[in-house]
Amino acid sequence: MDLLNFLVVGIHGFHSIFFFHLIFREQPILGFGLILAIVLYIIYRRMNR
């Protein structure tokens, strides 16, 4: 089970990093907007807990 989780998280993490790298290289503004949206969403979730 731990090995399976490690593989899923590892592959997903690598894929996410590659995805962000692709966005930043193609359209930096969109990448910054996406990160800002994620940060604001996390703050919003924490405030409404």
pLDDT in tens, 8-19: 555 555 666 677
3-state helix, strand, coil in the chain (%, to 5): 90, 0, 10
Amino acid at 44: Y
* More confident position, 29 or 6: 29
What is the distance between the alpha carbons of residues 16 and 46, in angstroms, rounded to a whole number?
23
What is the distance between the alpha carbons of residues 2 and 18, in angstroms, rounded to a whole number?
24
Q: How many CA atoms lie within 13 A of 13 on its CB side?
A: 6
What integer is the mean pLDDT of 23-42? Answer: 84
Q: Which of 15, 41, 20, 39 is nearest to 31 (CA)?
A: 20
pLDDT at 21: 74
Confidence of residue 41 (pLDDT cuts 50, 70, 90): very high
